[in-house]
Amino acid sequence: MNYTDPKQLAPLLEAILLAAGRPLTLERLAELFEEYERPEPAHLRAGLAVLGGSCRKRGFELKEVASGYRLQVREKY
């Protein structure tokens, strides 16, 4: 997998956030990768942006909160 490609990184970030069940900071997300394959913070942000865009027409959204990023049910639901 190419961790510098946001489109390839987004589904992995989605799975990580769903499995975590709590918000994760960029630093914590990065720590989940082996050091030799760890994405740069800019790549993680780009992957999160792709993930956020893919949630637009779904019942959940990517939300950045004080303690990190999380996937949550949209408020209107």
- CA distances to 12, 33, 35, 58 from 49, in Å: 13, 19, 23, 15
Question: Angle at the Cα of 60 (from 38 to 39), degrees rounded to 5?
Answer: 5
- pLDDT by residue, tens only, the chain of 77 residues: 888 999 999 999 999 999 998 999 999 999 999 999 999 999 999 999 999 999 999 999 999 999 999 999 999 99
- E strand map for 1-77: 60-65, 68-73
Give the Cα separation of 3 and 22 in Å (integer). 23
Q: How much is the pTM?
A: 0.92
